[in-house]
Amino acid sequence: MDTHTTTATLETLMEQLGLPSDDAALQRFVEEHGPLPSAVRLEEAPFWNTSQSIFLQEAIAQDAMWAPAVDQLDALLRHS
């Protein structure tokens, strides 16, 4: 994927995190891991491995092309 011209989607974010990205898998992920308490930052959630956590942390800190998809995942996990 060309990260300079491609807009990240929730599906591509899940793929980047090494997780299944189809609709059913995403729904399962949200159901299994949500709701995420408001006191827990997304990148610090206990269900991420170290590389996933680091990727999310960098995406948020750099307001990278991934930021909108990360925000979308965060909202889904908090309102599940």
Cα 62-54-31 angle, rounded to 5 deg: 105
Question: What are the structure tokens assigned to 23, written together?
Answer: 């609709």
C-alpha of 59 from chain center: 10
- If pLDDT is split at 50, 70 and 90, which confidence band does 6 have? low
pLDDT in tens, 20-75: 999 999 999 999 999 999 999 999 999 999 999 999 999 988 877 898 999 999 99
Neighbours of 8 (CB within 10 A): 20
Domains of the chain are 10-78 (1.10.10.1130)
Backbone angles phi, psi at 12, to 5 degrees: -70, -30
Return the pLDDT at 13: 96
